[in-house]
Amino acid sequence: MDYGKEQERLLRLFEEESSGEDYDDEEETGEDYIEERSEASDTEQEFDENEDEEINANEPYFMGRDKRTKWSKHCPPKNVRTRNENLTLYLPGAKARVKENTPIGIWECFFDNEILNNIVNFTNIEIQKETEKFSRYRDIYPTNLDEVRALIGLSGIEVFRLTMSLRRFRTLLRFIRFDDIETRQERVALDKLAPIRTLFDHFNENLKNSYNHSDYVTVDEKLEDFRGRCGFRQYIPNKPNRYGIKIFAVSDAKMFYTSQMEVYVGQQPNGPYKIDTKAKAVVQRLCQHIFKTNRNITTNN
Q: What is the pLDDT of residues 230-288, one digit of tens each?
A: 889 998 888 888 899 999 999 999 999 999 999 999 999 999 999 999 999 999 999 99
Choose the weakest-confidence range: 42-46, 92-96, 252-256, 268-272.
42-46
7 pLDDT tier (thresholds 50, 70, 90): low
SS3 at position 9: helix
What is the greatest pairwise CA distance in the chain?
A: 80
Quote the CA–CA distance of 259 and 285 in Å, as a whole number: 12
The answer, yes or no, to whether residue 191 has pLDDT greater than 90, is yes
Mean pLDDT of 200-220: 93
Count of positions (residues) in the chain: 301
First to last CA, the chain: 38
Q: Tens digit of pLDDT for each residue in 130-188?
A: 888 887 887 788 999 999 998 888 877 666 767 788 888 889 999 999 999 999 999 99
Quote the CA–CA distance of 261 and 287 in Å, as a whole number: 10
Which segments of the chain are extended strands (E)? 34-36, 61-63, 70-72, 93-94, 211-212, 216-225, 233-235, 243-252, 258-263, 296-299
Beta-ladder partners of 251: 218, 258
